[in-house]
């Protein structure tokens, strides 16, 4: 760092400094000021004479370099829960050098109300810096001192859940007495969650399960908290699921085997979520005409020993075992129509 030394010389007749390089001020208000440029920090002896050749007077001058510019940055988070926005405000505090300081941020926007170049706000992640210069640096074109700041903002996401069960995977329904799993898949940097089933709190674990014992619609609610910079934003999502008995079986009341149109040619129950069935067909006198069992049924084609049966009423008896081990019995009439 080089310095300019300006000295005011008075006394004698037209006094002046002895030695090369001195320049007299052209400012009429300071006619006795003399400047010497390009000096380094250190101690100098200045000799002073006048036009009458009076004995030279000497003075000692010490030039010191200002302390280097130092500084530190503080940051705080700003949270807007309704619009799910997080931003960071960064303040630079400089010292040393020769105040006042000039600040130049690499990005973001100056703090508002009124605009304050000492701080910057941004809601975009990244590596930023601020250039700080002092009055000496501005005067002599010195390179400013640079201070970095990293912006890595937490994210406010959306509450999301997954619901699954064995019955839903295999049969496409939610069933009583079959555990149903609820899994939190919310986005963002959430800090805590809580589950509610029909308004009753379950737990705060990321994944929980619940077994329903009543058929009907049930409400599953997930509450998600995002705590950022001392502010907690809370959001929730509710999903309604229909819990069924876990199986279904419908027995027709008639069939038409004789026309062989490919529609309603075989008589059997329609079922879902059964793992084993037995079907028996009787005439109205109680004689067994047809029996079939297994995980799937082909159904009765309306014949007895290869001969077509007569129009009329018959009895079907079904025993089935559901996927979850329950026994289902059905006994009822149906009609064969030719």
pLDDT, one tens digit per residue, over 125-136 is 999 999 999 988
Same domain, 327 and 266: yes
Mean pLDDT score of the chain, rounded to an integer? Answer: 88
Q: Is residue 74 part of a domain?
A: yes
For strands 174-175 and 231-244, give the pairing. parallel
Domain stop point among 26, 45, 63: 63
The answer to whether residues 209 and 181 belong to one domain is: yes
Clarify whether residues 183 and 238 are in a common domain.
yes
Q: Is residue 289 part of a domain?
A: yes
Among candidate residues 208, 229, 244, the one where a domain is terminated: 244
pLDDT digits (tens, 9 = 90+) for 64-79: 667 889 999 999 999 9
Examine residue 20 and state whether it is found in any structural domain, yes or no.
Answer: yes
Asked whether residue 75 falls in the same domain as residue 138, the answer is: yes
Which pLDDT value is given to residue 7? 59
Domain extent for 87: 70-151
User: Domain check: are 127 and 139 in the same one?
Assistant: yes
137 and 185, same domain (yes or no): no
Pairing of strands 327-336, 312-322: antiparallel
Highest mean pLDDT among 22-31, 82-91, 115-124, 262-271: 82-91
Residues 240 and 254 placed together within one structural domain of the fold: no
Is the residue at 156 inside a domain? no
Please tell me whether residues 240 and 252 are part of one structural domain: no
Of 244, 265, 295, which closes a domain? 244
Q: How far apart are CA 33 and CA 27, in angstroms?
A: 9
Per-residue confidence band for 1, with pLDDT thresholds at 50, 70 and 90: very low
Say yes or no: 94 and 119 in one domain.
yes
Which is higher by pLDDT, 244 or 66?
244
Query: Does residue 85 belong to any structural domain of this protein?
Result: yes
CA–CA gap between residue 273 and residue 212 (Å, rounded): 18
Q: How far apart are CA 33 and CA 23, in angstroms?
A: 9
DSSP three-state, residue 65: coil
Q: Which of 160, 154, 155 is nearest to 224 (CA)?
A: 160
The two beta strands, 180-184 and 161-165, are antiparallel
Q: What is the pLDDT of residues 222-231, one digit of tens each?
A: 999 999 989 9
Do residues 15 and 57 both lie within one domain?
A: yes
- End-to-end CA separation in angstroms for the chain: 114
pTM of the model: 0.69
Q: Please indicate, yes or no, if residue 7 is contained in any of the structural domains.
A: yes
Tell me the CB-side half-sphere exposure of residue 112, using CA atoms within 13 A.
3
Query: How confident is the model over 6-62, as pLDDT tens digits?
Result: 556 677 777 777 777 677 766 767 777 767 666 677 787 777 777 777 766 777 777
Residues with Cβ within 8 Å of 100's Cβ and at least 6 positions away in sequence, in order, are 134, 135
Does residue 239 share a domain with residue 309?
no
- pLDDT exceeds cutoff 90 at 338: no
Query: What's the number of domains the chain is made of?
Result: 4
């Amino acid at each position: 760092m080089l310095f300019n030394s300006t000295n005011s010389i008075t006394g004698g007749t037209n006094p002046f400094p002895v030695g090369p390089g001195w320049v007299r001020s052209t400012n009429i208000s300071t006619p006795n000021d003399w400047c010497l440029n390009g000096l380094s920090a250190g101690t100098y002896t200045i000799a002073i004479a006048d036009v009458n050749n009076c004995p030279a007077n000497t003075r000692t001058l010490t030039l010191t370099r200002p302390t280097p510019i130092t500084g530190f940055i503080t940051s705080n988070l700003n949270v807007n829960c309704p619009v799910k926005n997080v931003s960071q405000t960064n303040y630079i505090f400089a010292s040393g050098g020769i105040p006042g300081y000039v600040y130049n941020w690499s990005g973001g926007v100056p703090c508002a109300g009124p605009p304050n170049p000492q701080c910057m706000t941004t809601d975009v992640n990244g590596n930023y810096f601020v250039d700080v210069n002092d009055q000496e640096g501005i005067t002599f074109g010195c390179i400013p001192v640079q201070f970095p700041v990293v912006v890595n903002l937490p994210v406010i996401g959306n509450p999301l859940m997954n619901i699954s069960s064995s019955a839903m995977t295999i049969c496409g329904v939610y069933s009583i007495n079959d555990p149903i799993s609820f899994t939190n898949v919310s986005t963002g940097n959430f800090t805590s969650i809580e589950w509610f089933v029909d308004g009753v709190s379950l737990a705060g674990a990321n994944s929980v399960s619940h077994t329903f014992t009543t058929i009907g619609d049930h409400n599953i609610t997930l509450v998600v908290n995002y705590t950022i910079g001392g502010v907690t934003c809370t959001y929730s999502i509710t999903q309604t699921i229909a819990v069924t008995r876990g199986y279904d079986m419908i027995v027709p009341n008639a069939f038409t085997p004789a026309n062989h149109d490919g529609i309603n040619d075989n008589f059997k129950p329609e079922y879902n979520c059964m793992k084993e069935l037995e079907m028996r067909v009787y005439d109205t006198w109680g004689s067994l005409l047809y029996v079939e069992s297994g995980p799937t049924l082909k159904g009765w084609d309306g014949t007895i020993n290869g001969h077509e049966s007569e129009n009329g009423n018959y009895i079907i008896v079904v025993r089935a075992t559901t996927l979850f081990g329950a026994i289902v019995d059905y006994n009822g009439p149906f009609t064969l129509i030719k």
